[in-house]
Structure 1
Amino acid sequence: MAETSPGPVHVEFRGVSKRYGQAVQAVRQIDLEIMRGEFLTLLGPSGSGKTTALMMLAGFEETTEGEILIDGQRIDNVPANRRGIGMVFQNYALFPHMTVAENLAFPLEVRKLGKDEVTRRVRNVLDMVQLPEFGNRRPAQLSGGQQQRIAVARALIFEPKLVLMDEPLGALDKQLREQMQFEIKDIHARLGVTFVYVTHDQTEALTMSDRIAVFSAGRIEQLSTPRELYERPAASFVASFIGENNRMSGAVLTGSEDGSVIVRLDDGAVLNAMSCRAALAVGAKVTLSIRPERLSVLQDGVTALNEIPATVVQSIYVGDHVRLVAATASGQKFIVKLTTSSSQPKLDPGTAIRLGCGREDCLALDR
């Protein structure tokens, strides 16, 4: 299959909405550009509109408003089977009465390819998904992970330029799911085709994607790289949905042009933070977000810009880190992830500690 380097816009949503009757608006005025060759994930909770957006692109749902374009050509009025898109579903959708090879050959026979070309491509995709000896088996004779590989192979066999995946790993156990994440990412890197992937699993999205579109209530809340989403969430919803975070409510005491702010929390504590928007007005109500791994337990004699006196409530050894729950006098709870170390003092429940973090570790977000 020909490689394409990430480049110009491949898929475009222009003001796309989807309504079911008058009451339910599943997607609201989406504008989205997907670049050629990129791995873009649509991420969000159930009912956020991510799957509806994917199904409109696939042609299984009609748009209520707006346009969808592939390579600059409108396709929202083109039948699904004429769009030339590869599709992978969670339930694999393999034909149980056909062998693996017959399942793979089916999309090619529909397209009237010659027998020798069909045989060659079937062999190639079985090699690609590392199942070269499985052509004569039926789906019922395969494990869940093997069926998923065949479903991916079938989506790729007719060499589409665009592949859509709807929660494809949802039925797999945790270990196999993680293994398949890397395998699909590796296939994408080798082929260079555009992948659009739907999941509600934040770790999966962070692991696999070039960019992630976070959906909430039918809208895209943020479209960014995994690092940007995790470290610089644009809204409180994004911060809470992606990764664990400690959240506190407060109001801005002072702010400056560079985005640094001082916030007084509802319990009276004062913290130095960074705004994800350039300027927040004095008095603005904000939510502060601190990731658990950005907090440290300060040893005697060590200081930090932000210091939070607290008492250990719970300490759990998780292997590569210790998960600490601590509470302030006002009852505000903090989760802290401490890297496991032999020199680390044992922190039993009831131990008085000081939590510390810098300004960059504490993000001020709109309520």
Structure 2
Amino acid sequence: MSDTSVQGEDHVVFREVSKSYGADALAVNRLDLAVRRGEFLTLLGPSGSGKTTALMMLAGFEQPTAGEIEIDGRRIDRVPANKRDIGLVFQNYALFPHMTVAQNLAYPLRVRRTPRDEIDRRVDAMLDLVQLPGLRDRRPDQLSGGQQQRVAVARALIFEPSLVLMDEPLGALDKQLREQMQFELKAIHDRLGVTFVYVTHDQTEALTMSDRVAVFCDGEVQQVAEPRALYDRPETSFVAGFIGENNRLPGVLSARGRVTLDLGQEIAVDAVEGIAPGERVVVSVRPERIRLLDPQGRAEVELSATLREAIYVGDHLRLVLRPDQGDPIVVKAPAETGRAERDAGTEVRLGWAARDGRALKP
């Protein structure tokens, strides 16, 4: 593979990149984003958030309205797509149906005039990498969806690009195969050290596979961080709500580290920078961070609530509770939670650590 030994330096850079389709359709707004060499970066967001448009501009299939895109320090936003030497994998795989697996893999090498013996060597090596030895003579319609996906990945890698772009490549697979392929793609990335830029709207997929995740909303990046930091310390209310499930408790920041909730109680929180006392906030708390307190139990933050329903989900109970005021609160409790605490109408006390309540701008 191409030399990716200088891991950590910027491989791809977007500088003030915008893309509009007419006066009222701004798909990407002044994007500043750096992709480190050798990392697995995922562009995550809902439909219409700008993530795929950003990827297509990097691939060369869309032209920026403004700004610059660089690869290895060289501006490429006006370079034709076929001159960028980037590996591409799409949701529909885009395999040639009349060609065998070996012919599909050989195609990028043939157009680069690679010698025949080198082509044969690389095809065999790629089939071993994606765990498809012995299938070189099959056509795409003789393969399962997962096998077709592996062939598409192998074809994107076979000419040894330093950068591979993937647009929802697992979207057509069923849940079990999709989860299996997440781990396989991550293993391939770890083995080769190539830079991956990956687009998905699936939060679990992004958290599972990525070194870092860039969360898009309305054409702008809300936050770029490692998966654990993104989940535990979201910087915006959108990120907190889009990455996993969260409870939202509205209130007012009364002093640094304290919020007076609308339901009348003052609690300790972890507040993001840039919020002044007196401003409205939303306190985000993950359901798995909230626990049911024993009669003598204590926590840094405590609330009383009434159980509305308990749903058995296998490894945990999903409890929906109503505090004295405000919206319902969801708690993920251990499945062995006592019988009495599963009955609707039961009065319970909830508790969590102050650091687990994140005060964000609404």
TM-score if structure 2 supplies the norm length?
0.97
1:240-298 CA distance string (max 9 Å, x none): 1100000011111222xxxx2x1112222222111021x53221100110000010000
Name the SS for the 1:203 alignment partner. helix
**Post-superposition CA distance 1:199-252 (Å, at most 9, x none):** 000100000000011001111110111011101100101101100000011111
Q: Does 1:268 align with 2:272?
A: no
Change (3 A) 1:210 1:19: same
Structure 2 CA distance, aligned partners of 1:342 and 1:314? 13
CA distance in 2, matches of 1:306, 1:21: 50
CA RMSD of aligned residues (A): 1.3
Q: State whether structure 2 residue 82 is matched by structure 1 residue 81.
A: yes
Q: Is 1:182 equivalent to 2:183 in the alignment?
A: yes
> What percentage of residue pairs aligned between the two structures are identical?
61
Structure 2 counterpart SS, 1:60: coil
Take 1:342 and 1:28, find their aligned partners in 2: how far apart are those partners? 48
What residue number does 2:144 align with? 143
Q: Which amino acid aligns with 1:302?
A: G
Displacement of 1:106: 0.6
Could you say which residue in structure 1 is the equivalent of 2:299? 304
Is residue 310 of structure 2 the alignment partner of residue 315 of structure 1?
yes
- Alpha-carbon distance between aligned partners in 2 of 1:95 and 1:30, rounded to the nearest angstrom: 35
Aligned residue pairs total: 361
Q: Which residue of 1 aligns with 2:59?
A: 58
Q: Give the Cα separation in 2 of the matches to 1:72 and 1:4.
A: 15
Partner of 1:4: 4
Change (3 A) 1:344 1:7: farther
| Runs of 4 or more above 4 Å deviation | 342-346
In 1: Cα distance, 2:264 partner to 2:202 partner: 36
Structure 1: which 5+ runs fail to align?
none
Amino acid at match of 1:209: S
Does residue 355 of the first structure (1) align with residue 359 of the second (2)? no
Pairwise CA distance, 1:187: 0.1
How far apart are the structure 2 equivalents of 1:344 and 1:156? Answer: 54
Does the CA-based 8 Å contact 1:15-1:31 persist in structure 2?
Answer: yes
- Contact kept, 8 Å, 1:101 with 1:136, in 2: the verdict is yes
Q: Deviations along 1:304-357, whole A, 9 cap, x unmatched?
A: 121110011111121111111111122421110112337786421111100001
| Shift in CA distance, 50/342, structure 1 to aligned 2, threshold 3 Å | closer
Equivalent AA in structure 1 for residue 327 of structure 2: Q
Alignment of 1:1-367 (within 5 A): 1=1, 4-5=4-5, 6-255=7-256, 260=257, 262-277=258-273, 280-341=275-336, 346-367=341-362
Q: Give TM-score, length-normalised by structure 1.
A: 0.96
Distance 1:175 1:104 in 2: 26
CA contact (8 A) 1:275 1:365 kept: yes
Distance between the aligned counterparts of 2:337 and 2:22, measured in 1? 61
Secondary structure of the residue aligned to 2:30 is strand
Question: Which string of whole-angstrom CA distances, capped at 9 and with x for unpartnered residues, describes residues 36-87 of structure 1?
Answer: 0000000000000000000000000001111110110011111101101000
Residue by residue over 1:163-214, the C-alpha shift from the partner in whole angstroms, topping out at 9 and shown as x without a partner, is 0000000000110000000000000000001000000001000000000110
Q: SS at 2:297's partner residue? A: coil
